[in-house]
Amino acid sequence: MRSITVGTRGSSLALAQTRWVVARLKEEWPETEFRIQSIVTQGDRNRGSLERMAAQGDKGFWVKEIEEALLQNRIDIAVHSLKDLPTEQPEGLEIASIPRRVDARDALVGKEGMKKLAELPQGARVGTSSVRRKSFLNAFRPDLQVVQLRGNVDTRLAALSGGEYDAIILAAAGLIRTELRNRIDELIDPAILLPAPGQGALALETRSDDDLGIEVAYAIHDRDTDDRTTAEREFLAGLGAGCLAPVGALATIKNGLLSLEGWVGALDGSTIIQAHTQGDPAECADLGAELAQDLLKRGARELVDAARL
Ligand SMILES: NCc1[nH]cc(CCC(=O)O)c1CC(=O)O
């Protein structure tokens, strides 16, 4: 029996999404044995210094050790949250497959009586770790107190029960994949808060010369999700930004037409630049790159750079 080792981070979300991937792969390749191996990354070790890493422009802190394990043949397929994966692939590695996206949206989880963003009382304390969500909250509801909230999904929910926050915002996909869908009080309309590029999608990464690993991973590839997230990630790359920038993007495909929304904001919400484009899904990469150029002409670089300082 041939055996494939699938590597991922050790968080409950990483393991849940990897078990999902392996179950799907097993359906396609019943004769193959799959093992799961968890790997500790720099992001897991140094939670407190995430901001410093972002300031230094370090983009790979959730994936570096996992990519080393791939390159050293310790694992054959790596499972990442696509939004954590830098837009440039290291030499010798490639994204072999992007499975079907779950839900790209952000979710609000609130205390009793704090179940909708628009209905939160003045001054409510909202926890989030992301500069994108912070920028948006400051723009949409400047009266709210945006409070730092770090850690994995379980830690964040525990902080909410601990009473430190009135509500928290996190990716819906993370809750759905860890079977906490029932905790979601509101799926925030992307017309209000655009998700992070690639949010809610996974990436299966392999060695570029591993034909077997690529073939195995590709069996669960989803073309629509690939086109959509390619447009979003080219937009992010075109802005010269990474996953810790105040950048939102969401592509949808309807009747054979890809629509892409892009957004960049100042951390304090004082400035927001947004734009929209649409076209043939086959042109997804160009659509993303062009939208980035559009926003750069309107001052987006300054906003991306300001968030780094
Ligand atoms: N940056 C952490 C991270 N990376 C992926 C997810 C959620 C799952 C996804 O977006 O696919 C999360 C947590 C969050 O943003 O709430």
Nearest CA to ligand 1 atom 9: 200
Nearest CA to ligand 1 atom 11: 200
**Which atom of ligand 1 lies at the shortest distance from residue 243's CA?**
1
Per-residue model confidence (pLDDT) at position 247:
96
Q: What percent of the chain has pLDDT over 70?
A: 95
Mean pLDDT across 116-120:
94
Q: Is the pLDDT of residue 251 over 80?
A: yes
Q: Which of 8, 199, 236 to mutate to test the pocket of ligand 1 (most atoms within 8 A of CB)?
A: 199
Summarize pLDDT for 52-86 with one digit per residue, the tens: 555 555 557 788 899 999 999 999 999 999 999 99
What the chain holds in terms of domains, given with CATH numbers, is: 3-99+202-221 (3.40.190.10), 106-187 (3.40.190.10), 233-306 (3.30.160.40)
Per-residue model confidence (pLDDT) at position 59:
59
Complex ipTM, two decimals? 0.93
Q: Which of 13, 66, 176 to mutate to test the pocket of ligand 1 (most atoms within 8 A of CB)?
A: 13
| Ligand 1 pocket by Cβ (under 6 Å) | 81, 83-84, 170-171, 173-174, 199-200
Q: Which of 17, 83, 175 to mutate to test the pocket of ligand 1 (most atoms within 8 A of CB)?
A: 83
Q: Which pLDDT band holds residue 142 (cuts at 50, 70, 90)? A: very high
pTM confidence score: 0.94
Look at 45-59, 115-129, 151-165, 239-253 and tell me which has the smallest mean pLDDT. Answer: 45-59
Mean pLDDT across 31-36:
98
Summarize pLDDT for 156-180 with one digit per residue, the tens: 999 999 999 999 999 999 999 999 9
- In the reported structure, the alpha carbon of residue 199 is separated from the centroid of ligand 1 by a whole-number distance in angstroms of 7
- In the reported structure, the alpha carbon of residue 2 is separated from the centroid of ligand 1 by a whole-number distance in angstroms of 32
Q: Is the pLDDT of residue 152 over 90?
A: no
Q: Is the pLDDT of residue 201 over 60?
A: yes
Class of residue 307 by CB neighbours under 10 A (exposed 0-12, middle 13-18, buried 19+): buried
Nearest to 7, CA basis, from 205, 220, 212, 214 = 205
Catalytic machinery residues: 84
Mean pLDDT rounded to a whole number for the chain: 93
Nearest CA to ligand 1 atom 8: 174
- In the reported structure, the alpha carbon of residue 5 is separated from the centroid of ligand 1 by a whole-number distance in angstroms of 23
- In the reported structure, the alpha carbon of residue 81 is separated from the centroid of ligand 1 by a whole-number distance in angstroms of 7
SS (H, E, C) 110-174: ECCCCCCHHHCCCCCEEEECCHHHHHHHHHHCCCCEEEECCCCHHHHHHHHHCCCCCEEEEEHHH
- 18: CB partners within 8 A, 6+ apart: 6, 8, 36, 79
- In the reported structure, the alpha carbon of residue 267 is separated from the centroid of ligand 1 by a whole-number distance in angstroms of 20
Per-residue model confidence (pLDDT) at position 159:
93
Any bridge partners for residue 128, and if so which? 148
**Which atom of ligand 1 lies at the shortest distance from residue 84's CA?**
4
Look at 20-24, 26-30, 127-131, 177-181 and tell me which has the smallest mean pLDDT. Answer: 127-131
Element (H, E) at 238: helix 223-238
